[in-house]
């Protein structure tokens, strides 16, 4: 009889322990869900705050307007120079934009070079040059060993009303030269200030 009571007592204790464990587990899960709800509500409001911060960053982080060193116009084409930087290798890189305000596609054929070696560049800035008036020297666009200019080639032309970026690279004038004339065939010369590249 005492063995039966002991076995019965153990069974009751085991059942109580299991029930207590289940109750604690359910309570623990219930508390966790409450925390999740709190996390969900705080995380759902966080993106809104983050979004506002992003808007502020977008407004203040808008790219500044590009500096214009010179702008010349001819025959419906506007040539803008935005930078003229020397680099440590002894080169001068001139960059800018060209806008086509003509009534059709502009092919830049009038800007090609008359030099035999550069003629195969077609519509490009191969005909551009810079003039150091102080040193009385003219510099032509650089080219590689195969006669390709180190400049923009307007392949396919520039569509009516479109603007595209361009660049042309030249030998750099002496360090004492701070201003040059940038010349492109059919366009008026543009006086540009030189700056040191980064």
The three-state DSSP-derived secondary structure of 39-72 is HHHHHHHHHHHHHHHHHHHHHHCCCCCCCCCEEE
CATH 2.60.40 fits 70-196, yes or no: yes
Comparing CA positions, the residue from 97, 84, 111 lying closest to residue 172 is 84
Query: Rounded to two decimals, what is the model's pTM?
Result: 0.66
Q: Token digits for 74?
A: 């001819």
Condensed to tens digits (0 to 9), the pLDDT of residues 134-183 reads 899 999 999 999 889 999 999 999 999 999 999 999 999 998 899 999 99
Instruction: Name the least confident of 47-56, 114-123, 136-145, 181-190.
Output: 47-56
Q: Tokens 């191969």 appear where?
A: 126
């Amino acid at each position: 009889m005492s063995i039966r009571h002991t076995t019965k007592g153990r069974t009751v204790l085991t059942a109580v322990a299991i029930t207590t464990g289940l109750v604690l587990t359910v309570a623990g899960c219930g508390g966790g869900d409450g925390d999740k709800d709190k996390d969900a509500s705080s995380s759902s409001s966080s993106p809104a705050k983050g979004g506002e911060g992003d808007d502020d960053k977008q407004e203040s982080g808008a790219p500044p307007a590009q500096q214009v060193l010179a702008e010349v116009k001819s025959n419906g084409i506007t040539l803008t120079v935005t930078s003229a930087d020397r680099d440590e290798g002894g080169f001068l890189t001139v960059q800018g934009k060209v806008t086509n305000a003509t009534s059709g596609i502009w092919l830049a054929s009038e800007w090609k070079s008359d030099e035999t070696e550069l003629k195969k560049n077609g519509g490009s800035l191969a005909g551009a040059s810079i003039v150091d008036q102080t040193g009385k020297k003219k510099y032509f666009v650089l080219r590689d060993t195969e006669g390709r200019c180190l400049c923009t080639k307007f392949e396919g032309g520039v569509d009516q009303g479109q603007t595209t970026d361009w660049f042309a690279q030249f030998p750099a004038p002496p360090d004492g030269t701070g201003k040059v004339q940038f010349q492109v065939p059919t366009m008026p010369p543009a006086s540009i200030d030189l700056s040191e590249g980064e």
